[in-house]
């Protein structure tokens, strides 16, 4: 099922555990920018067993800084997979019933080709010579993985945040290959505010002298400070104002009084700094530029529907379940309702749930019983209709 290739594509090879499942894609992939990738590695993980009819495959698509390690230990961080709340035996995305696939996105830094990979023409990391990719490109690469796995149709494609964009793109680009689709805490188009936040992050990275005009890997450097600031800025958008107040408020970090200085007096400062520093250890700065850019460029209606979402979905037979979280201000519930209105305008089959939560955007990654029950219910209903389970 997997084809081990060299992991020399990974610039941090010395520190890096072997990634077991890397497919050497040898079918050319034409990117939206016009460049053709003739062959490239695509790293993925699978969980559960594919049934004989190959009808129980679920593609989980990951968010900006996610990876293919959904439900098993991440070999880089040593931490549990990023969606163990949701994926596993007896979980809503039940690996006893479904065959779950997750691949590292194109442009990522966990084994799939991206700016940190080696450009075979120069034997150097691609850096900013790597072509700019789109959500559409990510999904076309995933389709090649399904071809390789000889899976014609996905029972479901499920993703939150940027993963939700990929889920929507799947529904738009390959409607005949998708039975059900769950776009979670996401948007059909990247808003000005979100472009703005990611632009701040990119500028922070590119302002770091250790970015070396994108060639830091060749120069054996790393724009730590810039990437850390980018992560800190983004991290604020993942939590609600209420969650920050509840979790940290104005509590001081290991002290009784403020220090009248610029150390981390407050717990929130210490927390954010830790988020920034630990992120640098696991993520490539150029990947951050490329993957955020792919999100900025995402505009489903323009790409697939002449500017109209209803046009994108006009003949779709896919069953949709759109989920938002009430306190999410990164991808607002209103942005989910725009998706729902587009689907409704095409008389598509769509459920929508705005989960009441105070956890902000991050809610989709956290323990949130109503969300779990929605996912379980929808998937179970769809599995009945698909004949995967009996009443």
Active-site choice (328, 330, 336, 357) = 328
Which conformational region is residue 194 in: left (phi greater than 0), alpha (psi within -120 to 50 degrees), or beta? alpha
Q: Which helix (DSSP H) or strand (DSSP E) does residue 340 occupy?
A: helix 333-344
Residues in contact with a copy of itself, shown as a per-residue x/- string from 318 to 337 under the rule CB under 8 A: -----------x--x-----
Cβ nearer to a copy of itself, comparing 166 with 292: 292
Closest approach of a copy of itself to the CB of residue 172, in Å? 17
Asked if 328 is an active-site residue, the reply is: yes
Give the residue among 371, 363, 377, 386 at the shortest CA–CA distance from 63: 363
Strands in 189-330 per DSSP E: 319-325
Contact set for a copy of itself, span 225-284 (CB under 8 A): 225-226, 228-229, 232-233, 236, 241, 244-245, 247-250, 258, 260-262, 264-266, 268-269, 272-273, 276
- Cα–Cα distances (Å) from 28 to 24, 111, 112, 124, 156, in that order, read 11, 18, 15, 21, 26
Does residue 137 belong to the site contacting a copy of itself (CB under 8 A)? no
Contacting a copy of itself (CB under 8 A), which of 208, 328, 362, 368?
208
Closest approach of a copy of itself to the CB of residue 303, in Å? 11
Does residue 62 belong to the site contacting a copy of itself (CB under 8 A)? no
Q: What is the dihedral of CA 83, 365, 102, 276, to 10 degrees?
A: -100
Asked if 94 is an active-site residue, the reply is: no
53 annotated to bind ligand: no
Query: Over the range 365-377, which residues count as b (16 or more CB within 10 Å of their CB) and which as e?
Result: beebeebbebbee
Tokens for 304, please give them: 């697939």
Contacting a copy of itself (CB under 8 A), which of 91, 97, 190, 386?
190
250 annotated to bind ligand: no
Active-site choice (103, 156, 161, 180) = 161
Strands in the chain per DSSP E: 22-25, 29-30, 36-37, 40-47, 57-61, 87-88, 93-94, 99-103, 118-119, 124-125, 154-160, 178-184, 319-325, 349-355
Contacting a copy of itself (CB under 8 A), which of 129, 147, 176, 199?
199
Q: Which residue has the tokens 């939150």?
A: 160
Q: Which range of residues in 15-23, 49-57, 224-232, 369-377 is near a copy of itself by CB under 8 A?
A: 224-232
Cβ nearer to a copy of itself, comparing 78 with 261: 261
Does residue 296 belong to the site contacting a copy of itself (CB under 8 A)? yes
Query: Which residues are identified as catalytic?
Result: 161, 328, 361
Question: Which residues make up each annotated binding site?
Answer: 231, 362
Question: Which residues make up each annotated binding site for substrate?
Answer: 231, 362
């Amino acid at each position: 099922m997997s084809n081990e290739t060299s992991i020399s594509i990974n610039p941090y090879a010395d520190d890096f555990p072997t990634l077991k499942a890397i497919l050497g894609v040898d079918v050319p992939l034409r990117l939206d920018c016009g460049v053709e990738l003739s062959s490239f590695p695509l790293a993925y993980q699978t969980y559960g067993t594919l049934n004989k009819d190959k009808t129980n495959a679920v593609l989980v698509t990951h968010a900006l800084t996610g990876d293919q390690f959904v439900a098993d230990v991440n070999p880089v961080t040593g931490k549990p997979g990023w969606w163990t709340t949701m994926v596993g035996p007896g979980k809503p995305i039940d690996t006893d019933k479904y065959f779950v696939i997750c691949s590292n996105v194109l442009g990522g830094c966990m084994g799939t080709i991206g700016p940190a990979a080696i450009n075979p023409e120069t034997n150097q990391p691609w850096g900013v010579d790597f072509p700019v990719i789109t959500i559409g490109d990510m999904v076309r690469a995933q389709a090649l993985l399904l071809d390789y796995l000889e899976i014609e149709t996905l029972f479901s494609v499920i993703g939150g945040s940027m993963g939700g964009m990929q889920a929507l793109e799947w529904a738009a680009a390959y409607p005949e290959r998708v039975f059900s689709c769950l776009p979670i805490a996401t948007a059909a188009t990247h808003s000005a505010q979100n472009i703005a936040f990611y632009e701040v992050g990119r500028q922070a990275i590119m302002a770091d002298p250790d970015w070396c005009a994108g060639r830091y890997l060749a120069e054996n450097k790393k724009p730590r400070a810039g990437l850390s600031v980018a992560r800190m800025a983004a991290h604020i958008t993942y939590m609600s104002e209420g969650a920050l107040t509840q979790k940290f408020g104005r509590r001081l970090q290991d002290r009784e009084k403020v220090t009248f200085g610029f150390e981390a007096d407050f717990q929130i400062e210490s927390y954010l700094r830790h988020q920034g520093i630990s992120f640098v250890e696991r993520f490539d700065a150029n990947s951050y530029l490329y993957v955020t850019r792919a999100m900025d460029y995402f505009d489903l209606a323009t790409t697939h529907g002449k500017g109209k979402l209803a046009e994108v979905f006009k003949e779709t037979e896919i069953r949709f379940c759109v989920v938002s979280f009430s306190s999410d201000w990164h991808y607002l519930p209103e942005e989910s309702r725009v998706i729902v209105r587009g689907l409704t305008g095409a008389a598509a089959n769509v459920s929508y749930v705005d989960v009441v939560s105070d956890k902000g955007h991050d809610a989709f990654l956290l323990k949130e019983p109503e969300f779990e029950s929605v996912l379980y219910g929808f998937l179970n209903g769809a599995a009945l209709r698909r004949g995967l389970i009996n009443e």
